[in-house]
Structure 1
């Protein structure tokens, strides 16, 4: 939201501070740090959100593939044990497990 406000609508610090205040963030120093970070790093947040969506999709695939053998612990153990990997490869590896 803040990224869109700053880069899409030209919102300044005061507008950003007002929005942050609605979420209980009212420290001027914190508001300034958030504003500066987003202003200097446009579109940084969406890449993390897309990764989150990919993990959720992989988790749904695990539920479907593993059926009764699925557990959150098994999924997260599988995910973490793979190390650095792209989501297509992770899905291929997941589908090779029983």
Structure 2
């Protein structure tokens, strides 16, 4: 299963890449995907950037094929083939 992960805003700047393509052998959930990103970038701060405890950090938005995982099953949402967009919490005003 092929997924393209797109990073936005400060997360894109932090990671230094706009997107990443992964080929997954089996279905996984978003929480596992975040662990894969931690390994891929060798940076535990990726998890801290997006997750607080066992929930998505307030202000973070993760879309799977345009659907917000907060309206599906949160971190337990099954990753589907296609496009995943990750928007970190925004600041400013």
TM range (shorter): under 0.3
Superposition TM-score, scaled by structure 1 size: 0.25
Superposition TM-score, scaled by structure 2 size: 0.26
Query: Which structure's relative contact order is higher, taking Cα pairs within 8 Å and 6+ residues apart?
Result: 2
Higher-Rg member (1/2): 1
